[in-house]
With several copies, the nearest count.
Chain A
């Protein structure tokens, strides 16, 4: 018998996850700019103020460093804060608190101070928001020890990652891609917490492994379809969690396909794609038929003009072309 499903969107799935967390644990609260009366800059928290009140749906002034730090402190003091930083672009203002407090306190204190804070932010380009509103820094954040970084790309993960993140004893950063909020689809009516330790094979294949996450997953799956039509069977791995990386799933797939393409919306040099390439060649060098290919964003502050932005981002055809190149 098939499980009952409901029509929903990525945005509604995130909201439902927030609502559930707020209902089930009184230590949970949401804090950030315009999460309350405005309803969330991308309407994710719309209606929650009315349901849970201003104590638990806390509007903050423009003070990223202070309210992110406040989330860290409140977590230490026994609460389960969900801090929303409107977009990753503005999180730079809170980076000292994230790296030097959230990620370091446990170790600096010799294991005494764990920091169960969850920080949500929107990431990514594709909406012509130009240089200061289009960064994809989630892979860059994945460099920081002590953090867990997750990137929901599906309705299931949008619905389920928050609950698991809240149970995590350490800081978790959730990156929601701005282009996914309106993603529509069916979701199991009983959908809930999901694993955040493993990558997922979203599409099985034999000839090449396409590795992606977040905002790049959909176009990577499209590329896989296109490759199929050409007789190249592509396996698509959704990283889901960028730190720690699930080497087993990545390497396991590449060992079978002998070819890989990493798709990463980050700027190419020093992006997470480089780390994945490094790990593949460290762990599966002799299984590779050729170099691992990378499809990343052009190394430019994202331009506004539509054709320039499109050219700066990984696209289906550039992914397909890279996959073809792996056949040499």
Chain B
């Protein structure tokens, strides 16, 4: 079963508008810390998450707004978290890099590259040992594949046939390091296949292709195949983070990729087959833009966590250790 393209388009637009506003808010100091934008990569999170059910789990990175929104984490709680408000999805403790929503099994942003992989392995193991049909989807980048954690985790997932969907977002760069300087062999899907995992490359700019691949992968995993690795070939249109002067790639290269903007690609296709017209697109855009604006207003009005609460959540409330934090 695959998703309705119009829904995919709506989700991608929501992510795009959400992040465009985040960039503004960052520039005028209302959002702080590090901010990693997903602009250009929206088709990946959107196409994958559309195939996941409530009981599946998701593990993300520091570039996670798209994953969180596609997973259905309410944008109000996400925006509030960007502002560090207590109404944020992590009560203001996490910020952009650490968005969590346990009720939606969104096990968060991990900001140590590849650090989410062992965690995701464990979520999949936990489901498997409890006989649940659930899948754990773990997003990570091309750069993360060079870390030892990737190797250990994929080997174990194959060895134990765990229900793990490895979503490698190959955007050709790890910060300013081009993929050819990251890997001796840059065919990432082939690399993964050598571990014994089912693996294939996917056009990460084509939301429908990503969604089809996700549907097939999730099918296989629920059927007991063990881990599936998808190399989602995409590109980041903006700098690595708001700190990045983007010196390491040419304007041309970026421009060429922008011609394959996943939102425009899908919109064009839907226009072509008559399922979308300008008014409908404008209406969707207006809707998500308004949603984001409302979320920002709400976040601005949100309360700040009281400083007296600083030492909460170091240990569980029920723990006798909770009182020990100084």
Contacts and interface: CB of A to CB of B under 8 A. Distances in A.
Q: Do A and B touch each other in the complex, judged by CB within 8 A?
A: yes
Interface of A: 29, 33-34, 36-39, 41, 55, 59-79, 81, 89-90, 93, 96-97, 100-101, 105-114, 127-133, 145-146, 148, 168-170, 197, 243-245, 268-269, 298-301, 303-308, 311-312
A1 to B, nearest CB: 32
Given A73-B122, A114-B316, A133 B305 contact: no
B156 A112 contact: no
B272 interface: no
Contact of B146 (A61, A105, A311): A61
- Pairs of residues from A and B, 3 with the lowest C-beta to C-beta distance, nearest first: A73-B122, A69-B118, A77-B126
Contacts of B34: 129, 133
Interface string B241-256: 0011101100000000
A305 B309 CA distance: 12
Nearest to A302: B93
Interface stretch (B46-54, B175-183, B187-195, B224-232): B175-183
A115 to B, nearest CB: 9
A36 B177 CA distance: 8
B182 A62 contact: yes
B118 A66 contact: yes
Given A79-B129, A109-B90, A70 B314 contact: no
B130 interface: yes
B94 A110 contact: yes
Given A34-B176, A73-B118, A108 B98 contact: yes
Given A107-B314, A170-B316, A307 B307 contact: yes
A34 B118 contact: no
Contacts of B245: 39
A218 B101 CA distance: 39
A108 B93 contact: yes
Contacts of B168: none
A300 B324 CA distance: 11
A70 B127 CA distance: 12
Given A73-B120, A77-B126, A109 B100 contact: yes
Nearest to B123: A73
B98 A130 contact: yes
B160 to A, nearest CB: 8
Interface of B: 32-34, 57, 84-85, 88-95, 97-98, 100-102, 107-108, 110-115, 117-127, 129-130, 143-144, 146-149, 152-153, 155-156, 159, 174-178, 181-183, 243-245, 247-248, 304-305, 307, 309-321, 324-326
Contact of B123 (A65, A68, A76, A127): A76
Contacts of A33: 174-175, 177
A303 B93 contact: yes
A59 B181 contact: yes
A70 B118 contact: yes
A109 B176 contact: no
Nearest to B33: A128
B100 A74 contact: no
A299 B102 contact: no
A132 B61 CA distance: 12
A300 B314 contact: yes
12 contacts: A38-B177, A69-B117, A69-B153, A73-B107, A93-B147, A109-B102, A148-B315, A148-B321, A300-B310, A303-B92, A307-B307, A308-B92
Nearest to A97: B118
